[in-house]
Amino acid sequence: MTTNEPTIFALGGGGWMMEPDNPLLDDFVLSLAGTDRPRIALLPTATGDREGVIARFYEAFSGKARPTYLPLFRRDRPVELLLEQDVVYVSGGNTVNALAIWRAHGVDRILRQCWERGVVLSGLSAGSLCWYEAGVTDSFRAAEMDPLDDGLGFLPGSHCPHYDGEARRRPLYTELVRSGRLAPGVAATDGAGLVYRGTTLSSVVTSRPEAAAWRVHADGRHEALPARYLGASADQS
C-alpha cells in the first residue's frame, strides 16, 4: 500500500476520457503514486458504470499500471477494494448521482480512509468537483448549471471544472462566489490539473500550453495560478 501523504489530483477536464491521444495527465497521476506499475482503480459511478468507459480506462492504463474498477450498480466486488490501490480515479459524469450512490454504499467513508492513508485520489469533471465542499454542476438539469452544496468536503471551498467548456460557467461561478452563495475556490479549464497535498494546493500542471487555473476570491476577482505544461516545450524552456 502506498505511503504517500494525502494527495488529490483534480482535473478540470482532459485525461483519457477527453484526450485519449494525449497521455500527459494520465502519466502524471501515475507518477504521484511513487511506484512502478501502480495499482489504479476506476470508480465509474458517475457514468452509471458504463462499459465503454471502463474499456477506455483499461486501454489507457494497461501496460503501465495495474488497472481494476469498482462497480456499484452490480455489487460483485467489495468497496474495500479501493483501500488496496495506489490510485483511485473517479470518472466524469453526473456528480450528484455519484455522491448519492457512494453515500448509500459507504464509499464516501472508504474514500476518506484512502485519502488519509495516502492513496492518490484523482479524476476529471465530476471526479474533480466531488472532492470539494461545493461547486457548480450540470448534474441537476440538462444544459443548465446550478450550485452543488454537498461535496465530499475533503478539500475546502468551492470548485468549477471545465472553465473554458461552456460560456456560462465563468460568469455563473463568479456571481455565485461574489454573492456568497458559494465559498471562494478554484476554477480549472480542460487540460489543467490541480495537485493538492493535504488540503493545500501545491501546484498546477497542464496537458495543453493554454490550459489554466485561477483562485476565485470573494469579490469575484480571478487570481491566475502558476502552471507547468507537461509537454515537450516545457523541457526546452
Active site residues: 125, 162
Burial 34-70 (b: 16+ CB within 10 A, else e): eeeebbbbbbbbbbbbeeebbebbeebbeeebebbbb
Residue type at position 107: V
For residue 62, the cross-strand partners are 65
Handedness of CA 149, 155, 157, 161 (dihedral sign): negative
Backbone angles phi, psi at 155, to 5 degrees: -110, 135
* Helix %, strand %, coil % of the chain (to 5): 30, 30, 40
Cα separation of 12 and 136, whole Å?
A: 12
Residue type at position 172: L
For residue 10, the cross-strand partners are 123, 194
SS (H, E, C) 30-67: HHHCCCCCCEEEEECHHHCCCHHHHHHHHHHHECCEEE
